């Protein structure tokens, strides 16, 4: 096990270095946490399903730096988000804004819920309505049972 | 009791086939998507540029010195222009850039102005690439920090923009300009904006 330690360490170092290089972080922990909060809302356009805080893509690193520069310069969250949004469009926002293009996306949960309720309600109503009348054979058998006979 | 609880078989069958039909539809959709990926009709990165219909951002890039080409700045892209312009972001370390290079060469031979931005590259490497594969660029800027590319909303290289004669961005393509993309997308646009 001890012989493998250098190997394990060598494998572990890239994992640690992968995201949020220490030299990229802001010295002020308050500013850094604000920058991270903003970065987690921004999509890495290279990997697409990661935020720029989670991605090790070169572009994500550049954007992390830009976010930090702007936060350090005193820009608020809206201003920083607007800077990136102006360049990369709605897709860069991990929480898409509500506009005509994204309306269907936002409406989807309600459509799904409404559709489900509709199916349940119509099925119930039909189940209640469609109690089939007894057939001639069943009626005879029922009468037989009532008379106390039966199989 | 069991006789009344069992619903008519017709409705049960519907319940059985609905998920099957749904899975079949999803499968067909997935197949269409994969086909599209193969032919280039469907591009998961084909999100329209935020800059469409707008003028490119203000910038002024230094030249790639060993290439001996004029540098590029936003002043070169300001309308009115004599013809539409193709702006291409590329790098010598970018393999797909080699794939698209013959198409850029063709456009420049046909007289279409092709301007280049050498992205995150060493000047010597960029110049060597052009020496080896030919130079399609009338003007070439060097964006080593990649900040101008971010102002354009570039994802990565290669990426190509078409500016109309008013100097407004009309088209963006992320990825290599294959011969198919050139014929199907870029050429019609060049004709329309000529």
**A10-24 pLDDT, tens digit each:** 555 444 444 556 667
Residues B70 and B145 in one domain: yes
pLDDT for res B89: 97
Residues B35 and B95 in one domain: no
Per-residue pLDDT band at B134 (split at 50, 70, 90): very high
pLDDT for res B7: 54
Mean pLDDT of A32-52: 89
pLDDT for res A14: 44
Q: Measure CB to CB from residue B156 to each of A46, A131, A132 and give the nearest one.
A: A46
Per-residue pLDDT band at B14 (split at 50, 70, 90): confident
CA angle (A23 as vertex; A22, A28 as ends), nearest 5: 80
User: Domain residues for B78?
Assistant: 65-192
pLDDT for res A17: 41
pLDDT at B26 > cutoff 80: yes
Residues A92 and A133 in one domain: no
Residues B88 and B181 in one domain: yes
Chain A positions touching B147 (Cβ under 8 A) are 62
For chain A, give the mean pLDDT: 83
Residues A61 and A132 in one domain: no
Predicted-complex ipTM score: 0.75
Residues A70 and A111 in one domain: no
Residues B94 and B181 in one domain: yes
Q: Measure CB to CB from residue A89 to each of B47, B146, B150 and give the nearest one.
A: B47
Residues B17 and B96 in one domain: no
Nearest to B118 by CA among B128, B126, B130, B107: B126
Question: Where does residue A148 rank: exposed (0-12), middle (13-18), buried (19+ CB within 10 A)?
Answer: exposed
Whether residue B57 lies inside any domain: the answer is no
Residues A82 and A17 in one domain: yes
pLDDT at B25 > cutoff 60: yes
Nearest to A42 by CA among A65, A21, A74: A65
Residues B112 and B161 in one domain: yes
Whether residue B178 lies inside any domain: the answer is yes
Chain A positions touching B50 (Cβ under 8 A) are 85-89
Chain B positions touching A88 (Cβ under 8 A) are 50, 153
Whether residue B45 lies inside any domain: the answer is no
Residues A7 and A49 in one domain: yes
- Contact across the interface for A89 and B152, Cβ inside 8 Å: no
pLDDT at A4 > cutoff 70: no
Strands B85-90 and B114-119: parallel
- Contact across the interface for B47 and A62, Cβ inside 8 Å: no
Residues B70 and B28 in one domain: no
Per-residue pLDDT band at B45 (split at 50, 70, 90): low
Residue A60 at interface with chain B, using a CB cutoff of 8 Å: no
User: Domain residues for A122?
Assistant: 100-151
Residue pairs between chains A and B whose CB atoms are closer than 8 Å? 41
User: Which of A97, A113, A128 delimits the end of a domain?
Assistant: A97
Residues A115 and A63 in one domain: no
Mean pLDDT of B185-191: 94
Residues A21 and A38 in one domain: yes
Looking at residue A102, the DSSP 8-state letter turns out to be: T
- In percent, the amount of chain B with pLDDT more than 90 equals 75
Q: How many domains does chain A have?
A: 2
Residues A79 and A110 in one domain: no
Residues A86 and A20 in one domain: yes
Chain B positions touching A87 (Cβ under 8 A) are 50-51, 150-153
Distance from CA of B151 to the nearest CA of A (A): 6
pLDDT digits 0-9 by tens, A66-104: 999 999 999 999 999 999 999 998 889 998 888 887 888
Between A53 and B45, name the one with better pLDDT. A53
For chain B, give the mean pLDDT: 90
Residues B114 and B171 in one domain: yes
Q: How many domains does chain B have?
A: 2
Select the residue from B153, B157, B159, B174 to test the A interface by mutation, using most A Cβ atoms within 10 A: B153
Whether residue B158 lies inside any domain: the answer is yes
Q: For A46, which residue in chain B has the nearest alpha carbon? A: B155
Angle between helix A58-72 and helix A77-88 axes, rounded to 10 deg: 140
Distance from CA of B7 to the nearest CA of A (A): 8
B153: left (phi over 0), alpha (psi -120 to 50) or beta: left
Torsion sign over Cα B42, B177, B161, A92: positive
CATH code, A9: 1.10.8.640
pLDDT at B48 > cutoff 80: no
Q: Is the pTM of this model over 0.95?
A: no
pLDDT for res A9: 55
CATH code, B70: 3.40.30.10
- Contact across the interface for A58 and B153, Cβ inside 8 Å: no
Residues A105 and A45 in one domain: no
Chain B positions touching A55 (Cβ under 8 A) are none
pLDDT at B132 > cutoff 60: yes
Distance from CA of A31 to the nearest CA of B (A): 22
């Amino acid at each position: 096990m001890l012989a493998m330690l250098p190997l394990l360490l060598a494998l572990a170092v890239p994992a640690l270095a992968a995201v949020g290089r220490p030299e990229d972080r802001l010295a002020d922990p308050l500013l850094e946490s604000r920058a991270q909060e903003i970065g987690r809302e921004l999509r890495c356009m290279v990997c697409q399903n990661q935020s720029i805080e989670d991605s090790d893509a070169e572009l994500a690193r550049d954007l992390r730096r830009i976010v930090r520069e702007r936060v350090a310069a005193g820009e608020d969250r809206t201003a920083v988000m607007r800077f990136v949004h102006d360049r990369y469009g709605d897709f860069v926002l991990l929480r898409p804004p509500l506009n005509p293009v994204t309306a269907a996306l936002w409406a989807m949960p309600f459509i799904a819920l409404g559709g489900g309720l509709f199916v349940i309600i119509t099925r119930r109503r039909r189940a209640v309505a469609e109690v089939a009348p007894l057939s001639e054979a069943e009626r005879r058998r029922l009468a037989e049972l009532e008379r106390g006979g039966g199989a | 009791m069991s006789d009344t609880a069992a619903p008519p078989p017709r409705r049960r069958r519907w319940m059985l086939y609905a998920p099957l039909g749904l899975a079949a539809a999803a499968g067909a959709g997935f197949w269409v998507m994969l086909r599209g990926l193969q032919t280039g009709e469907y591009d998961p990165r084909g999100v329209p540029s935020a800059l469409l219909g707008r003028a490119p951002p203000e910038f002024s890039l230094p030249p790639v010195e060993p290439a001996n080409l004029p540098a590029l700045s936003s002043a070169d892209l300001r309308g009115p222009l004599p013809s539409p312009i193709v702006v291409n972001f590329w790098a010598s370390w970018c393999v797909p850039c080699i794939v698209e290079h013959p198409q850029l060469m063709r456009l420049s031979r046909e007289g279409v102005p092709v301007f280049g931005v050498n992205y995150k590259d060493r000047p010597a490497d960029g110049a060597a690439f052009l020496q080896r594969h030919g130079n399609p660029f009338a003007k070439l800027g060097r964006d080593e920090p990649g900040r101008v590319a971010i102002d354009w909303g570039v994802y990565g290289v290669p990426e190509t923009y078409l500016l109309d004669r008013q100097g407004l961005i009309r088209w963006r393509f992320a990825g290599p300009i294959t011969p198919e993309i050139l014929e199907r997308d870029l050429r019609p646009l060049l004709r329309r904006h000529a």
